[in-house]
A and B are shown apart, each in its own frame.
Chain A
Amino acid sequence: MSSPKIGVVSCSGEGCVEGTLSRVATRLVLEGLRPDNTVTICLPLFLSGEKGERMFAKHFPTISVDGCEKKCAEKAIEKYSGKTARSIVVSDLLPEWGIKEPKSRRNLDENGLNTASRIADEIVVAIDDLLASGK
């Protein structure tokens, strides 16, 4: 029997470092932390109207991971495929954790990677919670 799948959708924003954090955190979950239970959706492809991506988000739970308060990933999913199961906003988490944003949006330094790892842990908590609740 295949494992239950959850879509983790990152905003991927290139314009700000929080976008890099959201992207790297999402990849850490997909590749290392919960590879059997997660898939990702390419947000611009989803926004372009790709049917497979939109159908997935309609029928399976999704977790949006946004870099900034614009919440492109969350808004996109809710606009085209229904409410997200969980929403994570990096720019809300950093001040809550007392962490300054990394300087480079291109290459995360050690602190940036640690922050991405902490965000990935938040995503994992949301995944495990969804799996446990059977939603």
Chain B
Amino acid sequence: MDLVEPIFIIPCSGIGKSFGTISREAMYQVVEELRKCWTDTLCLSLLVMGDEVTGHLVQSHRCIAVDGCPLECAKKNLELADANLAANFRVIDLLKEHRNLKPKSVTFLDEAGYELAKILAEKIASKVDELTRGETDS
């Protein structure tokens, strides 16, 4: 396979509720398993603190924001950094679609949390496929 520029998957980093943990777990599933060769991540805090290298990376690569709650810290901060934002997802929207899944634990996800993270990861992976379609045909 040709080398491709990674798409950065950037979760919100929240640690106060399970939503942030779900966004992070979904990101890791994509970056480390589902679309390992196509994606990477970086620290949102580093971007927001004005790190030049991180700022350049999000401007020069496509990014997908994955937010836990409606405050959308990842999406908003990527927009503020003039990032190349290709898509965004919110755990809160997923919860509305899957009302039977009620995640409770924060530090280590429970079964419902992992299930939601898995569903979200598959949605992100599909978006990565859509964005990269045809890019290695050479």
Contacts and interface: CB of A to CB of B under 8 A. Distances in A.
Nearest to A107: B28
A31 to B, nearest CB: 6
Interface string B35-51: 00000011111101101
B64 to A, nearest CB: 13
Contact of A14 (B16, B41, B73): B41
B49 A42 contact: no
Interface size class of A (residues with CB under 8 A): 20 to 34
B27 interface: yes
Contacts of B44: 12, 14, 44
Contacts of A72: 43, 45-46, 48-49
A42 B16 contact: yes
A43 B45 contact: yes
B42 A12 contact: no
A19 interface: yes
Contact of A44 (B32, B42, B73): B73
Contacts of B48: 44, 47-48, 72, 76
Contacts of A106: 25, 28, 32
Interface of B: 10-16, 20, 24-25, 27-28, 32, 41-46, 48-49, 51, 71, 73-74, 76-77, 106-107
Given A47-B45, A76-B45, 10 more contacts: A12-B20, A13-B13, A14-B27, A19-B43, A27-B15, A27-B106, A27-B107, A44-B12, A45-B73, A70-B46
